[in-house]
Amino acid sequence: MLERFEFMTAGRIIFGNGVLRELPNLAKAFGERALVVTGSDAQRAAPVLTLLEDAHIRYHVFSVSGEPTVQTACNGVAHARNFAAQLVVGIGGGGALDAAKAIAALATNQGDPLDYLEIVGKAQPLTNAPLPYIAIPTTAGTGSEATRNAVLTAETQRVKVSLRSPLMLPRIALIDPSLTHSLPPHVTASSGLDALTQLIEPFICRRANPITDALCREGITNAAWALPRAYADGNDAEAREAMAYASLFSGIALANAGLGVVHGFAAPIGGMFGAPHGMICACLLPHGMAANVRALRAQDDAFARDRLMRFEEIALLLDAESPEAEAAVEALHALCARLNVPRLRDLGVPREAFSEIVQKAKVSNSMKANPVALSDFELHAILDSAW
């Protein structure tokens, strides 16, 4: 018998090469004053601005440098309110999309942002619907266009936390794979492995359900062949389209099932050392999965055997050398080596910080869905093997 589950995603998903040109009509349905949230390279938003101008939609641009902080969101809210924005358009990577999502939510909800933040705040529910939000990803990685949370760095506490609400799902996810063609190889690798992590962790986690299972299987299948090709040739249109597809599915899956140990570590490491989220996930993915396989074998009950069978399925989807759980881990190691993924030490993470990282990771929301409870020793061992 199936356990209870629920499923939700963006209000409307529009996918395909060239769909960006549909933005003006979509935006007009929400208003004529748009706050456009972009990454540090505002030029990537130029096509969006041209489309809004041609449609006589007034806009104000707010640029986000790097991954957003709580203060970034507060600054963006001030811009949205001063401009009297009627909608928010986010274009960029996961940082820009998360910032836009947070700004849209906080612009209509009064009070201190800490009232609504998890872990470091009160985690109170939003009382008012956010401004209408249109998400336009330019990377194939975070799946933020289909999630109901925004990840922000709480600088004082040195940890990444979420602002989360079902109300925060984008009204429209506009996914044009052609926007990802200009990504450099290292961004393709880090964002793509983030997407793959977000397909594997929901598939093996405690809260997996039949709908997310189907999405994860399809997403892993596409990422397995497309990611190496997109890394080797950024203009490989077929591979870029498949990775945009996999990234979208990863966002839907994580929002409806959960994540695991890799993302449990990513939040404190990113908050403490400012390392890029995607690269942290890439660095930790095979090591975290190896720890899960070992712990599941030691657990040896019906649930553990079921999750090991899922790892065996992952091995097949990744075209591993054999249909065994350990072969899936080896395939991930090989893929990371092929994509030149760095070590934790290369990301500026010192060994002396391991104990603090472990303690922060243990209380993260992502860790709660991991298929098996990992001990402090096992968590330290993951960091050590990735270092």
Distance of CA 221 to the CA centre of its chain: 18
- Rounded to whole angstroms, how far apart are CA atoms 98 and 91? 10
Quick one: average pLDDT of 36-51?
Answer: 89
Taking all residues of the chain, what is their mean pLDDT, rounded to a whole number?
94
CB 272 within 8 A of CB 353: yes
CB 40 within 8 A of CB 85: no
pLDDT score of 41: 79
Question: In Å, how far are 2, 199, 252, 266, 311 from 275, measured between CA atoms?
Answer: 39, 22, 25, 9, 28
- Looking from the CA of 131 toward its CB, the CA atoms found within 13 Å total 30
The pLDDT confidence band at residue 141, using thresholds 50, 70 and 90, is confident
What topology is assigned to 13-180 in CATH?
Rossmann fold (3.40.50)
Q: Cβ neighbours of residue 358 under 8 Å, at least 6 residues apart?
A: 376, 379, 380, 383
pLDDT score of 67: 87
Q: Cβ neighbours of residue 88 under 8 Å, at least 6 residues apart?
A: 34, 35, 36, 37, 80, 100, 103, 104, 107, 130, 131, 132, 133, 134
Q: Is the pLDDT of residue 115 over 80?
A: yes
- Rounded to whole angstroms, how far apart are CA atoms 203 and 195? 13
Quick one: average pLDDT of 330-348?
Answer: 96
Phi and psi at 141, nearest 5°, equal -155, -70
84 or 141: which leads in pLDDT:
84
pLDDT score of 290: 98
Q: Hey, what are 44's tokens? A: 């990537």
Q: Cβ neighbours of residue 116 under 8 Å, at least 6 residues apart?
A: 105, 106, 109, 122, 123, 124, 125, 126, 163, 165
- Kindly report the pTM of this predicted structure: 0.95
Inter-axis angle of helices 261-273 and 354-362, nearest 10 = 130
CB 257 within 8 A of CB 369: yes
pLDDT score of 94: 92
If you search the block for the tokens 């990744």, which residue do you land on?
A: 318
Q: Is the pLDDT of residue 279 over 80?
A: yes
Residue type, 13: I
Q: Is the pLDDT of residue 121 over 80?
A: no
Cα angle: 251, vertex 240, 148; to 5 degrees: 15
The pLDDT confidence band at residue 367, using thresholds 50, 70 and 90, is very high
Per-domain residue ranges for the chain? Answer: 13-180, 185-386
pLDDT score of 65: 86
Smallest CA-to-CA distance from 197 within 220, 174, 213, 180 is with 220
Phi and psi at 161, nearest 5°, equal -135, 170
Question: In Å, how far are 263, 285, 305, 346 from 310, measured between CA atoms?
Answer: 19, 16, 9, 32
What one-character DSSP code corresponds to residue 293? H
Q: Is 18 exposed, middle or buried (0-12, 13-18, 19+ CB in 10 A)?
A: exposed
Greatest C-alpha distance within the chain: 63
pLDDT score of 182: 84
Q: Is the pLDDT of residue 2 over 80?
A: no
- Rounded to whole angstroms, how far apart are CA atoms 210 and 225? 24
Quick one: average pLDDT of 180-206?
Answer: 95
> Which of 22-26, 155-159, 324-328 shows the lowest mean pLDDT across its residues?
155-159
Query: What are the pLDDT digits (tens) for 287-318?
Result: 999 999 999 999 989 999 999 999 999 999 99
Quick one: average pLDDT of 320-325?
Answer: 92
Calculate the dihedral angle through the C-alpha atoms of 59, 60, 63, 67, rounding to the nearest 10 degrees: -70
- Rounded to whole angstroms, how far apart are CA atoms 277 and 146? 18
What topology is assigned to 185-386 in CATH?
Dehydroquinate synthase-like, alpha domain (1.20.1090)
pLDDT score of 1: 63
